Amino acid sequence: MGIKCDVRRRRVILVLFIWTFLSIGTSYAPADEKKKTESVVHGVTIVSLDAPLRATIGRKIHIEIVIGNERASKATTILTVTCPTTKQQIGREAEMLEGLTSQKIVYAWNTEGLKEGTYIIRAELEKVPDETVIDDNVRQIEILLQQ
């Protein structure tokens, strides 16, 4: 009787193990992973935004922006560069990028008539169709203007 009990107990444990394994295994499906992957869609990005950290008032400051296309196909977007501190628009234009390429754009910011202080320069790309990753579409830097 002791042997039959051990065999039954082992069978019950085996059945519970298999049932647990199968129930855990069915909670994951490749389709679920595919849905997660499909929800992240890259598009365009601001690769870099460069300008001098300090500059002299009255001089033009060159602001260099490198934008990139993270897709394999062409993308068209609008790049806008502003100084929110003064509410100035420094530049705005449509940009067409081939797939998986980048492009450098340079603007000159006229600082004539500004006061000493710290100014924010902001570059922003409009999102492209179906793009879900948009946190890399905006960059900003600070420039200290002095006499």
What are the pLDDT digits (tens) for 53-79?
Answer: 999 999 999 999 999 999 999 999 999
- CB contact at 8 A, 100 and 66: no
pLDDT in tens, 97-124: 999 999 999 999 999 999 999 999 999 9
- Tokens representing 41? 């869609």
Q: What's the longest Cα–Cα distance across the chain?
A: 100
Q: What is the pTM of this model?
A: 0.73
- Residue 41, CB-side half-sphere exposure with 13 Å CA sphere: 10
Say which residues have a Cβ less than 8 Å from residue 46's Cβ, sequence separation at least 6: 65, 66, 67, 68, 123, 124, 125, 136, 137, 138, 139
